[in-house]
Amino acid sequence: MNQKLKINKLYTLSSEKKKFVFNLPLKSSIRIGKRNYPVQLKSDEKFGPYILWKNRKYPVEIVRSRQNRYEILFNDISYTFTVETPFSMQRMKVLDSGKVKSGQETVKAPMPGKIIDVLVREGSAVLRGEPVVILEAMKMQNEIQSPVSGTVIKISAKPNTTVMKDDVLAEIKID
């Protein structure tokens, strides 16, 4: 079965769960209010790849990608997106419906790097701001702190493994 025939749109999700919907085939314009503004991906010798939008060039770079997940630079700022098809979106919703519970918070990697140490155990009580994981990035050791006070219910971070930006390191049940 040729799946691509059925895909009529893509959902591009930011790490803050913002959803951008793009119809396929992908248009070279973006609608804002009632107007369509042309947007182009270009590349030349002087600037390298860039986006042209409203007569201004914005530098773009790909930092890394894994399957449908991309970390890119747009105008010197990093963004992490996952691109979902209607099928994968549907599947995600089903999976998520059993998973996301209120009163829970996740500890995420703020930057890609290597896990040096995990400072808590499943079942440990943590306070807001307490370091949970030591993440090494760019030769600096960073304490990744719990965003909330609560109990650690799951630890996904393993020492000596690498993680991408926004990978979940631990899950905390809020007190």
Partner 1 sequence: MKIKKILIANRGEIAVRIMSTARKMNILTVAVKTSAEPNAMYLSHADEIFDNTESESEIPVFLDIEKLISIALETASDALHPGYGFLAENAYFAQKCLDNGIIFIGPSPDAIYKMGNKTIARKLALKSDIPMAMGSEGNIANAEEAVSIAEKIGYPVIIKAASGGGGRGMRIVRKAEEMEKMFSIASKEAEIAFNDPSVFIEKYIENPKHIEFQILGDKHGNIIHLGERECSIQRKHQKLLEEAPSCALDPALRKKMGQMAVKIAKAVDYYSAGTVEYLLDSDRNFYFMEMNTRIQVEHPVTEIITGIDLIEQQIKIANGEKLSLSQDHVKLKGWAIECRINAEDVQAGFAPDPGKIEKLSLPSDKYIRIDTGIKEGSTIVSSYDSMIAKLIVSGRDRKEAIKNCKMALDKVWIKGTKTTLPFFRLLVRNHKFQEGSFTTAFIEKDLDRYYYNSEYEEMLAAWFTTKLFVEENLQDKNQGSDNGLKEEMSPWLLNKRITQF
Q: What is the DSSP letter of 160?
A: T
Binding to partner 1 in span 64-83, by CB under 8 A:
64-66, 68, 70, 72-79, 81, 83
Distance between first and last Cα of the chain: 49
Q: Does 129 bind partner 1 (CB under 8 A)?
A: no
Three-class DSSP category at 34: coil
Asked if 30 touches partner 1 (CB under 8 A), the answer is yes
CA nearest neighbour of 105 among 13, 14, 168, 157: 168
Tell me: does residue 41 bind partner 1 (CB under 8 A). Answer: yes
Q: How far apart are CA 127 and CA 151, in angstroms?
A: 9
* Closer residue to partner 1, CB minimum distance, 84 or 150: 84
User: Are 172 and 110 contacting, i.e. CB atoms less than 8 angstroms apart?
Assistant: no
- Residue nearer to partner 1 on the CB measure, 70 or 104: 70
Stretch that binds partner 1, among 45-53, 114-122, 123-131, 167-175 (CB under 8 A): 45-53
- 135 — phi, psi (to 5°)? -115, 125
Binding footprint of partner 1 on the chain (CB under 8 A): 4, 7, 10, 12, 14, 18, 20, 22, 24-26, 28, 30, 32, 39, 41-43, 46-49, 51, 53, 56-66, 68, 70, 72-79, 81, 83, 110-111, 137-140, 142, 162
